């Protein structure tokens, strides 16, 4: 599964960003604006507006564009030099502070200096050792009442299933996945599950407030949105949202119906 080095090689050297800035990944919602207002913003709105936001893995600024009006200071970190350069050009050095990271730490950021840590559709490719390192760093940089919203893999909840799927010869596996017989793994991190992230956060004295498990391109709940932070411990609310994909299709259908041509 993807290592930091493999992620860097793919997103910095091989992936073709030339025709879009990641907007293609919002097509099931009818575009990034729809996905922001109907998917991302409702899940983080209680943390906005705020002082300092740290975004992990912004790519070329797909969500940065929406976060910018909601904070006094916006800090970006990505392992891709190319993506960080695009963000600098797109948003300007005065608007955002950009860093090339190592995929494991936030060493550039001072202790207790961030109000809200945000990551969406990036850490799904991060394996548990590196994700655990990030949790340690999140605990360090968050202010005493700071919060975080992290989108990560839950593929590790299904090791037997994806072990069997990956054992099927490539051409047959691709055919069966294309027909919807088998689920794709979306290049998710197989070592990561919601439970492992929850335990890792608690070891760093972080409180996990909620975890929402969602499908991503199949039937199984291979992704997780974890909301966590510093403060009083509370029982974690775990929500299995099997209708997540149907919600996206509904939003796109309604948006298309009201589009002005």
Q: What is the DSSP letter of 6?
A: H
Cite the DSSP H helix spans in 45-179.
64-67, 81-91, 128-141, 159-166, 170-178
The sheet carrying 50-56 orders its strands as 96-100, 71-78, 50-56, 114-119, 142-153, 223-229, 207-214, 237-240
Percent of the residues in the chain that have a pLDDT greater than 70, as a whole number: 99
Average pLDDT, the chain: 94
pLDDT in tens, 17-40: 877 778 999 999 999 999 999 999
Domain range enclosing 132: 4-257
Grouping H, G, I as helix, E, B as strand and the rest as coil, residue 145 is: strand
pLDDT in tens, 67-81: 999 999 999 999 999
Specify the pLDDT at position 94.
77
Specify the pLDDT at position 1.
60
Grouping H, G, I as helix, E, B as strand and the rest as coil, residue 163 is: helix
Give yes or no for residue 208 having a pLDDT over 90. yes
Instruction: Name which of 47, 64, 65 is nearest 55 in CA terms.
Output: 64
Q: At 102, which CATH number? A: 3.40.50.150
Specify the pLDDT at position 82.
94
Average pLDDT of span 157-161: 96
DSSP 59-85: TTTTTHHHHGGGEEEEEEEES-HHHHH
pLDDT in tens, 247-257: 999 999 999 99
Average pLDDT of span 155-182: 93
Average pLDDT of span 95-120: 97
Checking DSSP bridges between strand 223-229 and strand 142-153, what pairing results, if any? antiparallel
* Residue 205 near residue 232 (C-beta atoms within 8 A): no
Percent of the residues in the chain that have a pLDDT greater than 90, as a whole number: 84
Q: Any residues with CB less than 8 A from the CB of 29 and at least 6 apart, and which?
A: 35, 38, 39, 248, 251, 252
Give yes or no for residue 146 having a pLDDT over 80. yes
DSSP H/E element including 54: strand 50-56
Specify the pLDDT at position 56.
98
Residue 103: left (phi > 0), alpha (psi -120 to 50), or beta? left
Q: How many domains does the chain have?
A: 1
CA distance 36 to 243: 18
pLDDT in tens, 220-236: 999 999 999 997 777 89
pLDDT in tens, 183-205: 999 999 999 999 999 999 999 99
Specify the pLDDT at position 261.
65
């Amino acid at each position: 599964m993807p290592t930091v080095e493999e992620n860097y090689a793919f997103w910095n050297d091989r992936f073709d960003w030339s025709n879009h800035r990641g907007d293609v990944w919002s097509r099931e919602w009818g575009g990034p604006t729809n996905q922001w207002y109907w998917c991302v913003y409702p899940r983080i709105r209680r943390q906005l507006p705020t002082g300092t936001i740290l975004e992990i893995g912004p790519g070329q600024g797909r969500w940065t564009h929406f976060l910018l009006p909601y904070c006094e200071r916006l800090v970006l970190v990505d392992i891709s030099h190319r993506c960080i350069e695009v963000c600098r050009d797109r948003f300007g050095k005065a608007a955002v502070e950009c860093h090339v990271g190592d995929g494991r730490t936030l060493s550039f950021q001072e202790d207790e200096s961030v109000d809200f840590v945000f990551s969406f559709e990036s850490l799904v490719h991060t394996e548990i050792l590196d994700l655990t390192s990030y949790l340690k760093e999140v605990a360090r940089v968050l202010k005493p009442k700071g919060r975080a919203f992290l989108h990560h893999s839950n593929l590790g909840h299904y090791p037997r299933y994806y072990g069997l799927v990956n054992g099927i010869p490539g051409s047959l596996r691709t055919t069966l996945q294309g027909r919807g017989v088998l689920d794709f793994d979306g290049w998710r991190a197989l070592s990561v599950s919601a439970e492992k992230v929850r335990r890792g956060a608690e070891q760093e004295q972080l409180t996990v407030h909620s975890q929402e498990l969602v499908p991503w391109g199949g039937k199984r709940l291979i992704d997780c949105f974890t909301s966590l932070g510093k403060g009083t411990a509370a029982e974690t609310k775990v929500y299995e949202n099997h209708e997540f994909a149907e919600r996206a299709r509904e939003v796109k259908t309604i948006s298309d119906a009201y589009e002005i041509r």
